[in-house]
Structure 1
């Protein structure tokens, strides 16, 4: 009886132990199935994201940083901005003492006025020389006309003299024959003497007019020289006037440079100047950081094979965990970062070790993302994730075909 009870008790224990093991196996199987489903549900999207996105933590916020420095030296009279102040393009930032530049401008203006007066005087002299030149030319024309008239008179008197000489010769022969009176012969001889005297006078007049013409020509040459000298003086004075005007313009520029204005909108940083300090040309006073920012991500060269401009980017900023920032790839630098260092690596030396290079990629934030309320300053660390599946495969091929067709057209 005791053995039967013991056997029954053992049977019951074995039955329940079997059912418990079966339940545990079912539970483990159910857990395994659930875990497998979870792995598929969670892991597959993660896998898809891994193969369709490229990310890097070697990325930083960049912005246009403009260094502000004076273009003239002097003592700072006033500083109108403070650190981290917002300024707009054209706002007055600081002033260099302008009194020296105002005096220099007045001196330059006085020199310019003097040069203008000298220019007017030279022009007046040149004008007078031109009038003298015209008078000399008019006198020469008159002398040439008189010379021509005198030469015509010589021809006329020479013809009359020849006629009177012929008449005298005939009268002489007739008088010797007793055909004419002595009085008629004397009259013919007097007439020949008069015509000869007129001819000699005409020759002397020609010589006189020739001398006057030569003298007038010489006077014209001298007048031309004086005119050329006067015109040269005008050119010299005009050059002096242009130089004086340039000096005035430079003095005005220097006076305007005494007022240091903002070349762009942004925020003042690294302010290192106070009123009363003496500043040199080119000395940095402060910098202005532009409000427009972008991201420069240094991807490995093995990550950029499928990157294209325009692909969407998700950006995580270390300063704002959990805040999503949206952007897109703007451009990819044509060269690795090491290629543009001060001393680029020289791989032809023989000591070559292959290192995966980094290629800077410019990422522009999307304006419609709605992240304007967050401060993004140059140098802040970010982690961009580029969706390389966008615009890939057949879409990229079609885009390339369209670009090639456009280029051919």
Structure 2
């Protein structure tokens, strides 16, 4: 065989090998027997291990779901929360010079404790003057009552004289009528008739005088009663002035209306203050937490649910509390300038709603006041 024939034979063999490789590569189950045995060994030779791995993955997924459901899902929290209280300013009700300030800044006070004292001398003088006016009015009332009694006695005396004059007048009338009849019949004298007529006129005058005396006595009594009424009004006015002076004297001591702390104390001894001028701020002991939750966090939140609270200033103090109430409306709805959404370029923004949280027991070893930041965590559903 020549060299050319050998080359041709070798080329034909190579072409046949390439064709077989192409045919094997196009078959779907192509591969060597060793590779096929290796692929089948993972599932076919270890079916139990494969099933256990799948079951383990399912168990881990279920455990993770229940951990999320029990320890994360039942809670709602926010960092937009703070300690709140109904703080107010302590102001004087009267004007005057401050005589003493027996308290210091941030001092805890009980109800009725004196915060400041105003010089009471001017108000004591006003009270003494009012009491003097009461005495004058009471004396005037007593004098009027005596005049009323005297006028009553004069009325009785005048009425008695009037009764006597009336009897004498009636007798004079009867005597005059008899004498006039006797004169007409010729049995009586003219002198007797004239004397009877004169006696009648005198009796009439006496009766008129007695009537005038009764009227005068009644008028004197009415005048005395009017004086008593005036004195009584003066007494009431003096008593009102005395009561006002007494209250002003009490107002010289500015006291705490309830337990709490006095802060931002600005009053000082010797300072002149006007009525209504503030000298300090007062923080009552009754404080709570106001938490501004997003409106999307309120679906399961109800009053009475337990709350865990952490104060930023004292993170080692974990407090317990309860949801007291939820404000019926967002915080911006009750602001000075509420948002107006009736515009063409409206963009929906998740609103925040204030939630009042009461604390079971505040710590006594630290100072807690309004404005301090708190992180509350509300359990909106019980863990089960």
- Specify if TM > 0.5: yes
Q: Which residue number in structure 2 is paired with residue 274 of structure 1?
A: 268
CA contact (8 A) 2:179 2:188 kept: no
| 1:173-322 alignment, distance < 5 Å | 192-193=188-189, 197-321=191-315
Residues 46 and 133 (structure 1 numbering): CA distance in 2 closer, same or farther, change over 3 Å?
Answer: farther
Q: Which residue number in structure 2 is paired with residue 61 of structure 1?
A: 83
**What is the CA–CA distance in structure 1 between the aligned matches of 2:170 and 2:347, rounded to whole Å?**
104
**What is the CA–CA distance in structure 2 between the aligned matches of 1:126 and 1:349, rounded to whole Å?**
81
2:151 is the counterpart of 1:129: yes
Candidates 381, 385, 388, aligned match of 2:380: 388
Q: Which residue number in structure 2 is paired with residue 400 of structure 1?
A: none
Residues 324 and 148 (structure 1 numbering): CA distance in 2 closer, same or farther, change over 3 Å?
Answer: same
**What is the CA–CA distance in structure 2 between the aligned matches of 1:151 and 1:358, rounded to whole Å?**
106
| 1:371-382 alignment, distance < 5 Å | 371-382=363-374
Deviation for aligned residue 1:88:
0.9
Deviation for aligned residue 1:385:
2.4
CA contact (8 A) 2:88 2:282 kept: yes
**What is the CA–CA distance in structure 1 between the aligned matches of 2:101 and 2:351, rounded to whole Å?**
46
Deviation for aligned residue 1:82:
0.6
TM-score by length of 2: 0.76
Q: Which residue number in structure 2 is paired with residue 44 of structure 1?
A: 66
**What is the CA–CA distance in structure 2 between the aligned matches of 1:235 and 1:142, rounded to whole Å?**
34
Residues 34 and 278 (structure 1 numbering): CA distance in 2 closer, same or farther, change over 3 Å?
Answer: farther
Q: Which residue number in structure 1 is paired with residue 142 of structure 2?
A: 120
Residues 202 and 53 (structure 1 numbering): CA distance in 2 closer, same or farther, change over 3 Å?
Answer: farther
Which is worse superposed, 370-379 or 268-277?
Answer: 370-379
Residues 291 and 39 (structure 1 numbering): CA distance in 2 closer, same or farther, change over 3 Å?
Answer: farther
Partner deviation per Cα, 1:66-105 (whole Å, 9 max, x = no partner) = 4211111111111101112121111122211122222222
Q: Could you say what secondary structure the match of 1:299 adopts?
A: strand
Unaligned runs of 5+ in 2: 1-33
Q: Which residue number in structure 1 is paired with residue 30 of structure 2?
A: none
Residues 107 and 349 (structure 1 numbering): CA distance in 2 closer, same or farther, change over 3 Å?
Answer: farther
CA contact (8 A) 2:308 2:320 kept: yes
Q: What is the count of residue pairs matched by the alignment?
A: 339
Q: Which residue number in structure 2 is paired with residue 406 of structure 1?
A: none
Residues 41 and 209 (structure 1 numbering): CA distance in 2 closer, same or farther, change over 3 Å?
Answer: farther
Candidates 345, 363, 371, aligned match of 2:339: 345
Partner deviation per Cα, 1:319-339 (whole Å, 9 max, x = no partner) = 232543211122222333222
Q: Which residue number in structure 2 is paired with residue 327 of structure 1?
A: 321
User: Which structure shows the higher helix fraction?
Assistant: 1
Residues 307 and 137 (structure 1 numbering): CA distance in 2 closer, same or farther, change over 3 Å?
Answer: farther
Q: Could you say what secondary structure the match of 1:192 adopts?
A: coil
Deviation for aligned residue 1:54:
2.6
**What is the CA–CA distance in structure 1 between the aligned matches of 2:113 and 2:226, rounded to whole Å?**
48
2:92 is the counterpart of 1:70: yes
Residues 295 and 243 (structure 1 numbering): CA distance in 2 closer, same or farther, change over 3 Å?
Answer: same
Deviation for aligned residue 1:38:
5.6
TM-score by length of 1: 0.72
**What is the CA–CA distance in structure 1 between the aligned matches of 2:201 and 2:372, rounded to whole Å?**
104
Deviation for aligned residue 1:271:
1.0
**What is the CA–CA distance in structure 1 between the aligned matches of 2:231 and 2:366, rounded to whole Å?**
63
Partner deviation per Cα, 1:381-405 (whole Å, 9 max, x = no partner) = 1122223336xxxxxxxxxxxxxxx
Q: Which residue number in structure 1 is paired with residue 109 of structure 2?
A: 87
